[in-house]
Amino acid sequence: MAADLQPKASSSTSTYAGLGIPLILPAWAIIGFFLVLPVMMMLIYSFLTKEFRGGVIWEFSLAAYDQFFFDRGLFGDELPKIEWTYITIFWRSIWQAAAATLLCLVIGFPTAWFIATRTARNRSIWLFLVTIPYWVNLLIRTISMKFLIRDNGPMNELLMASGLISEPIHIINTNLAVQLGLFYSYLPFMVLPIYAAVERYNFALSEAAADLYASRTITLTQIILPTIKPGIIAGCILVFVPSLGAFLAPDLLGGAKNFMIGSLIEEQFKGAAGNWPFGAAASMILLSLVLLVLTLYARQQTREQG
Amino acid sequence: MKKLLKLGASALAITLAANAATAEGKLVIYNWFEYLPQELIDKFAAQENVEVTMDTFDSNEAMLASLKAGKMGTYDVAMPSDYMVDIMGDEGMLDTFDQEEMPNFSNIMDQWLNVSFDPGRNSSVPYQWGSTSFSVNRDAYKGDINTLAMIFNPPNEVKGKINVLDSQGEVLALGSMYLGIPQCSTDREELKALNNLMLEAKPHWASFGSDVAKDVLVSGDASVGMIWSGFGAKAREEGANIEYAFPKEGYVVWTDSIVLLKDAPNRANALKFMNFMLEPENAAALTNFAAYTAGVKGVEPFLSDTVANSPESNPPAEPIGELVMACPQEVQAVYDTIWTNLKK
Amino acid sequence: MASKKVDLRRFPGFLPLTYLCLFLLYAPLVIVMIYSFNDSASITRWDSLSLRWYHDVFFGVEAPKFRAATINSITIALMAATSATIVAIMAATAMLRSGRFRGKSASFALINLPLMVPEIVTAVATLIFFSAIGFTAGYLTIVLAHIVFCIPFAYLPIAARMQGIEDVYEQAAQDLYATRFQAFRLVLLPLMTPGILSGFLLAFIISLDDFIITNFVKGAGIETLPTAIYGAVRQGIKPNIMAISTLLLVVSVVFVALSYFVGRMGEKNNDETSTKGDLI
């Protein structure tokens, strides 16, 4: 999606030559002052000292990062060991985001393929159908999912009434519930880029392969997938990155045992922990992780194009 | 650099004609969730011609953290529990008032007048008091429930179906009672034991949550739910077959107060509100809604029978409940570590 | 094609998966919609069909709270979307119509930065920033934070549209002695209308949707609709929340449909236009 709108040399004209800087200035000022500067401020905060019972003291300290990576025992006086707690939370978040991405891919790819192979008229209707739920408030979608999958919710009642199951399927407060929530939050991000790639795919290639006696599977894996790979990768990134820092799905669907990065950070600011430097450090680590993924992606893009 | 930024921001604020004027005729309350009926807010608003807004919190610690994070000066009153009033006093977060400023001051029951956390009531007036223990679904478990083992070493029937309040002070106080160690113990072995108790109990707990505490009991998602007495009574009223326990090892009692916050933007209205809540009729209306007990004289004629006679609000003579203590810094640091270990 | 025995566009199982996808997308929303018409006060039991909870939303005890939250949400979204749209139009003109200037490639990254930084990180950073400079959280902090993340959403359709309009029109206008400002106002801007409208609607709905950032930067006693709903839902899903959800759902669908048709209108007016950016 973003890649489509890279300024292309051909489309850049100069009707307003010389006005570029004054015209771009408001965007720079607002995003610079209210996003870039705050992120730098957050970096500074992650090196400050936590005050007893919340608040910060303007004194340099590595305590937040130390707490993240090292375990010094209950009384803080033991030799440092590796602290697995937060690494586990990050790992769980990565894992959950990856699982949600896979779920989106398994269901989103056939959907995108199906839509892209309709007639032009039907395509827009199908696309419209897939994107509509995305515009419904995320909070409301998450609540709806929670309502649906509760132990004694409509889904279980329907299944029990139909005699398919005798005991309710327990989904709420499990990993699966969080994955379903993330899937529901970000599915269109998977469908749209894949759709765009399939739409551009030249089916003459498939015909050529078929003429050369390639089976369906061979055609799919050897011809189609490599051609539309950029769309798939873009889709995966667009689902994976927001899933990593998601807050609502783990909070409302995950219960206590499925703490993810988003909840960990929130707890430091809105919850009882009140440890701002630690929350800032965790945010910095999350941000670095996301930027790493995006950089790898950008590098891979340029390598393929160049 | 900080100053420079401040300058830039205030310049910006001026150009944007920001939320400059503190409007008169306002009152901003920082309260527990589901702890003040809309009818009472409306009544106060109409009576004093004041626009009332309210934010809610779900634990004493969360309220303290939020206030310390730059929200001081935006709220007029808050409703912390006993030990938190103590802490807020220490932190210099409370304003004081004279008894003459509050005509209904004499309505405070004598037992709630000279309290340890605010001797003589210079910054606070009583709001409600009650206890913290747990309710058990009697369909799920039929045995003796009056022991803290139901939470910390639960029987098989309820394992994995326990909800615990997201409230550091109360959970660790109950844990200490179960172990028979004093609150805020400085003994290393005792603190280690407390940490181990929490870590061993955690696998049996399904969820952590205060605001969900009633709902999980009503919906049956939890068979045992740590809960406040009145909230438990409400869950029972909503149809859950639950019984509130008074464990033999002890339980927590608390008394919430309305405190006058320092730098309150609408101090006069704050005092009017505190005075309003000391009116027996209003205190009773609050009790009828929240199902705890008022600390105000003369509420009896206004109380509903169900609330006055609820088993949750009428504990047996033995055992007696304990207040949560405010721990000194070095113990609090260990408590924070235990809590973090628990929440991860 | 007719000679082929197999349709190469088809893969077995893709159609059922598509239906599964639509089912997963719509089932939760439809269920909530149905239950919002349930007369029972309990969410687990179905009683009978009624509009009781809709009445409750507008006239019940909590109605004033939700009404105030709705007004806040709408005014904030209006301000944020308007500001973001203006900034986005200027930025798009700079990026696509002003030739080369210093910092152009960095500008593209900057405009898209709010999309790349995880929402929770933006929320934390904004909270820290406002608190560090002593800026009291309130209504204004919400508006400022919203403008930031609305900019890329307004920019995408606007830039897509502008990219589709060749500059011959403006050049023709200038050849006829229009000033550059006149060429912009009288030629480019009217041609841009569909893109601007869908950019505005997009920003509006994104602002209306936001929970995480609002929850971090909102001041004492100020709620938007999502934060008010979140506060209520934490204690359990109530029937009145389902009624509110259904109403919001309808509003969102109307907005998307509007944005979609505005985009199509533009497509008809100008075949060159790419409307790919209109929906996403």
Mind listing the pLDDT tens digit for each residue in C74-114? 999 999 999 999 999 999 999 988 888 888 889 988 999 99
φ/ψ of C180, rounded to 5, equals: -65, -35
Per-residue pLDDT of chain B (344 residues; tens, 9 = 90+): 555 555 555 555 544 434 434 445 899 999 999 999 989 999 999 999 999 989 999 899 889 988 887 788 899 999 999 999 999 999 999 999 999 999 999 999 998 998 999 998 999 999 999 999 999 999 999 999 999 999 999 999 999 899 999 899 999 999 999 999 999 999 999 999 999 999 999 999 988 889 889 988 988 889 999 999 999 999 999 888 999 999 999 999 999 999 999 999 999 999 999 999 999 999 999 999 999 999 999 999 999 999 989 999 999 988 889 999 999 988 988 998 898 888 77
Q: Are B223 and B137 in contact (CB under 8 A)?
A: yes
Instruction: Write out the E strands in chain C.
Output: none
Q: Between chain B and chain C, how many beta carbons pairs sit less than 8 Å apart?
A: 72
Q: How many CB atoms lie within 10 A of CB A127?
A: 21
Interface of A with C in 220-259 (CB under 8 A): 220, 241-242, 244-245, 247-248, 252
Q: Which helix (H) or strand (E) holds B110?
A: none
| Structural tokens at position C194 | 């569909």
Q: What is the pLDDT of residue B10?
A: 52
Backbone φ/ψ region at B241: left (φ over 0), alpha (ψ -120 to 50), beta = beta
Radius of gyration of chain B (CA): 21
Q: Between chains, do B344 and A89 touch, taking CB under 8 Å as contact?
A: yes
Read out DSSP for C70-84? HHHHHHHHHHHHHHH
Residue closest to C249 by CA, chosen among C19, C21, C23, C36: C36
Asked whether the beta carbons of residue C231 and residue B6 sit closer than 8 angstroms, the reply is: no
Which pLDDT score, from 0 to 100, does residue B9 have?
Answer: 54
Give pLDDT, residue C202: 86
Report residue A168's pLDDT band, with 50, 70 and 90 as the boundaries.
confident
Rounded to whole angstroms, the Cα distance separating C142 from C127 reads 10
In this complex, do A27 and C90 lie within 8 Å of one another by their Cβ atoms? yes
Average pLDDT, whole number, for chain A? Answer: 86
For residue C85, give the 3-state DSSP assignment.
helix
CA distance B101 to chain A (A): 32
Q: What is the DSSP string of A31-98?
A: HIIIIIHHHHHHHHHTTSEEPTTS-EESS---HHHHHHHEE--TTS-SPPEE-HHHHHHHHHHHHHHH
CA distance B191 to chain C (A): 32
Answer with the residue of higher pLDDT: B1 or A300. Answer: A300
User: Ranked by mean pLDDT, which of A74-83, A157-166, C115-124 comes out on top?
Assistant: C115-124
The b/e string for B48-77 (b: 16+ C-beta within 10 A; e otherwise) is bebebbbbbbbbbbbbbbbbbbbbbebbbb
pLDDT exceeding 70 applies to what percent of chain C? Answer: 91
Instruction: Flag whether residue B30 sits within 8 Å of chain C, measured between CB atoms.
Output: yes
Tell me how far apart the alpha carbons of residues A23 and C101 are, in angstroms, rounded to a whole number: 11
Token duo for residue C36: 């919002």
The verdict on C1 touching B (C-beta cutoff 8 Å) is no
Chain B residues with CB under 8 Å of A271 CB are: 59, 61-62, 65, 166
Q: What structural domains and CATH numbers belong to chain A?
A: 26-305 (1.10.3720.10)
Asked whether the beta carbons of residue B344 and residue A259 sit closer than 8 angstroms, the reply is yes
Closest alpha carbon to B34 in B209, B226, B184, B234: B234
Q: Do A273 and B329 touch (CB under 8 A)?
A: no
CA distance C210 to C80: 12
Looking at the predicted structure, is the pLDDT value of residue C241 above 50?
A: yes
What pTM value is reported for the model?
0.87
Instruction: Give the C-alpha separation, C136 to C122, whole Å.
Output: 18
Q: Which residue of B has its CA nearest to C237?
A: B215
Instruction: Give the integer Cα–Cα distance in Å for A179 and A93.
Output: 10
Is pLDDT of A287 > 80? yes
Q: Which residues of C touch A5 (CB under 8 A)?
A: 156, 159-160, 163, 277
Beta-strand runs (E) in chain B:
26-32, 51-57, 77-78, 114-115, 118-119, 124-137, 162-164, 205-208, 224-228, 242-244, 252-260
Q: What are phi and psi of B206, to 5 degrees?
A: -85, -40
Q: Where in chain B is the domain with CATH 3.40.190.10?
A: 13-129+256-311, 130-252+315-343
Strand B124-137 relative to strand B242-244, pairing:
antiparallel
Nearest chain A residue to B204 by CA: give it.
A257
- pLDDT the model gives residue A4: 45
Å between A260 CA and nearest CA of chain C: 12
Of A109-118, A252-261, B301-310, C227-236, give the lowest mean pLDDT range: A252-261
C-alpha to C-alpha distance for B113 and B90, rounded to whole angstroms: 19
Q: Which of B2, B19, B33 sits opposite C235 (nearest CB)?
A: B33
Contact of A160 with chain C, judged by CB distance below 8 Å, is answered with no
Bridge partner list, B77: B29, B260
B 212-251 near A (Cβ less than 8 A): 219-221
Interface chains of chain A (3 or more CB pairs under 8 Å) = B, C
The reported pLDDT for the residue numbered C2 is: 43
Look at residue C13 in the predicted model and tell me its pLDDT: 82
Distance CA C208, CA C81 (A): 10
Q: Do B340 and A273 touch (CB under 8 A)?
A: yes
Helix axes B168-179, B188-201, angle to 10 degrees: 110
CB contact under 8 A, B219 and A150: yes
CA–CA separation, C243 and C208 (whole Å): 18
Cross-chain residue pair A256–B59, CB shorter than 8 Å: no
Chain mean position to CA A83: 26
Lowest mean pLDDT among B119-123, C175-179, C210-214: C175-179
Fold of B13-129+256-311: D-Maltodextrin-Binding Protein; domain 2 (3.40.190)
* C contacts of A274 (beta carbons < 8 Å): none
ipTM of the complex: 0.86
Mean pLDDT for C50-69 is 89
Shortest alpha-carbon distance between residue C75 and chain A (Å)? 17
B130-252+315-343 folds as: D-Maltodextrin-Binding Protein; domain 2 (3.40.190)
Encoded tokens for B279:
């009116």
Note which residues in 206-235 of chain B have CB less than 8 A from chain C: 209, 211-212, 214-215, 218-219
Q: CA-nearest residue of chain B to C129?
A: B5
Q: What angle do CA C53, C56, C60 make, to 5 degrees?
A: 160
Convert the pLDDT of each residue in A104-151 to its tens digit. Answer: 999 999 999 999 988 888 888 888 888 888 888 899 999 999 888 887
Which residue among B2, B53, B56 sits closest to C132, beta carbon to beta carbon? Answer: B2
Which of chain C's residues have a Cβ under 8 Å away from the Cβ of A17? 98-99
Rounded CA gap, C53 and C41, in Å?
Answer: 9
Question: What residues of chain B, 176 to 195, have a C-beta less than 8 Å from chain A?
Answer: 188, 191-192, 195
Q: Which residues of B touch C130 (CB under 8 A)?
A: 70
